[in-house]
């Protein structure tokens, strides 16, 4: 028997701290060799594709698969957890909310280690489905005073503030443009579906940390080349995956402006803690395409909580 968990049931047990702990644990598992993760694969099927990514946790003897078929009317994500010793299915979890929380948590974890610890002001670019947890994670980790919110649509940014201000300690403030020089901003989170850069390097000042989390395609970019070149340190969630999916880096690398050997995998922070000490005025960037290990670690914790709380439906497999 395997346990099937719906989005409604996940909503009863998930929270941002659990997601933050899961993502940080994932990177530590990679650093110690106890966790493995495989980049996203896209299998063309007619005019669409089946996307899947997999991971495993050695010390738990589990493996997992996240699978979805992109759909403009609404994509459904599923995470499968299996016993790696006997191949039995443990659980199937509907993964939309899970993915939303782990993506936001990843930006939070990156900021925890890469941004200045006394960060007070943040900028959010993008107000879609993934945006709330981006700020929720920062609000959980830092004592933020204010978050500036920008999207191309005035209605969208105002609705975002209306819907989420009650859930965020920091003040949410709508802004009409990010084209001017950004003053006193500590952290920028970019989470859009744009194909062309939405952040201008001319606006970036010393000490800023940037999370770019909206793109996972080689032909899409959120950060312009000037922003990339200004950075003192650039981290990716997984170097092999970034070489296939991170348009922000693939483009300047193709021009010979940067080299992959100078880009670090975020898990190296835990492998070599003394190597990546932040200077106050450093400009740092975290490029996030998403790891299956984040999904698996969080999904397994949710599965365990569901067992305790009596949630889910047992299915014959």
pLDDT tens by residue, 236-281: 999 999 999 999 999 999 999 999 999 999 999 999 988 888 899 9
pLDDT-derived band at 154, boundaries 50, 70, 90: very high
Strands 2-5 and 35-45: unpaired
Phi/psi-derived region of residue 103, left when phi > 0, alpha when psi is between -120 and 50, beta in every other case: alpha
Q: Is the pLDDT of residue 205 over 80?
A: yes
Mean pLDDT of 81-98: 97
What's residue 73's pLDDT?
85
What's residue 194's pLDDT?
87
Task: Judge whether 285 and 234 are in contact, CB under 8 Å.
Answer: yes
Task: Judge whether 10 and 316 are in contact, CB under 8 Å.
Answer: no
- Give residues with Cβ within 8 angstroms of 135, minimum separation 6: 104, 122, 124, 147, 164, 168, 170, 172, 189
Q: Is the pLDDT of residue 46 over 90?
A: no
Structure tokens at 308: 């305790």
What's residue 83's pLDDT?
97
What's residue 273's pLDDT?
87
Mean pLDDT of 100-119: 97
Picking from 11-20, 80-89, 196-205, which range would have the lowest pLDDT averaged per residue?
A: 196-205
Q: Is the pLDDT of residue 193 over 90?
A: no
What's residue 50's pLDDT?
93
Q: What is the spatial distance between Cα 152 and Cα 67, in angstroms, rounded to a whole number?
A: 31
Please state, for a pLDDT cut of 90, what percent of the chain lies above it.
85
Q: How far is CA 225 from the centre of its chain?
A: 21
Closest CA to 139 of 17, 8, 263: 17
> Domain 114-289 is classified in which CATH homologous superfamily?
NAD(P)-binding Rossmann-like Domain (3.40.50.720)
Task: Judge whether 97 and 11 are in contact, CB under 8 Å.
Answer: yes
Please tell us whether the domain made up of 2-99+293-315 is placed in CATH 1.10.260.40: no
Q: Please state whether the predicted TM-score (pTM) of the whole model is above 0.85.
A: yes
What's residue 148's pLDDT?
96
Between CA 41 and CA 129, with CA 263 as vertex, the angle to 5 degrees is 50
Residue found by looking up tokens 């996972």 in the block: 216
| Mean residue pLDDT across the chain | 94
What's residue 215's pLDDT?
78
* Domain range annotation of the chain: 2-99+293-315, 114-289
Q: Is the pLDDT of residue 224 over 80?
A: yes
pLDDT-derived band at 181, boundaries 50, 70, 90: low
Q: Is the pLDDT of residue 5 over 70?
A: yes
pLDDT digits (tens, 9 = 90+) for 111-141: 999 999 999 999 999 999 999 999 999 999 9
């Amino acid at each position: 028997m395997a346990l099937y968990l719906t989005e409604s049931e996940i909503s009863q047990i998930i929270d941002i701290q659990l997601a933050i702990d899961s993502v940080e644990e994932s990177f530590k598992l990679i650093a110690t060799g106890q966790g493995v993760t495989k980049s996203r694969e896209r299998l063309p099927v007619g005019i669409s594709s089946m996307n899947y990514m997999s991971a495993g946790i050695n010390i738990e003897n589990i493996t997992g698969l996240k699978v979805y078929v992109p759909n403009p009317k609404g994509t459904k994500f599923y995470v499968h957890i299996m016993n790696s010793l006997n191949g039995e299915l443990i659980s199937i979890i509907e993964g939309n909310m899970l993915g939303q929380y782990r993506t936001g948590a990843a930006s939070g974890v990156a900021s925890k280690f890469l941004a200045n610890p006394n960060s007070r002001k943040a900028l959010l670019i993008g107000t879609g489905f993934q945006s709330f947890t981006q700020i929720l994670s920062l609000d959980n980790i830092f004592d933020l005073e204010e978050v500036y919110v920008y999207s191309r649509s005035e209605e969208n940014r105002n609705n975002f503030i209306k819907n989420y201000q009650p859930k965020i300690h920091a003040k949410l403030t709508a802004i009409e443009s990010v084209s001017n020089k950004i003053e006193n901003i500590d952290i920028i989170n970019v989470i859009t579906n744009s194909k062309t850069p939405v952040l201008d390097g001319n606006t970036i000042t010393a000490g800023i940390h940037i999370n770019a989390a909206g793109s996972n395609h080689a032909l899409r970019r959120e950060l312009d080349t000037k922003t990339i070149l200004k950075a003192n340190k650039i981290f990716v969630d997984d170097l092999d995956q970034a070489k296939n999916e991170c348009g922000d880096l693939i483009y300047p690398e193709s021009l010979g402006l940067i080299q992959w050997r100078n880009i670090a995998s975020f898990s190296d922070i835990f492998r070599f803690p003394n190597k990546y000490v932040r200077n106050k005025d450093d400009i740092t960037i975290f490029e996030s395409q998403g790891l299956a290990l984040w999904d698996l670690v969080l999904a397994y914790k949710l599965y365990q909580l569901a067992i305790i709380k009596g949630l889910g439906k047992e299915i014959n497999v």
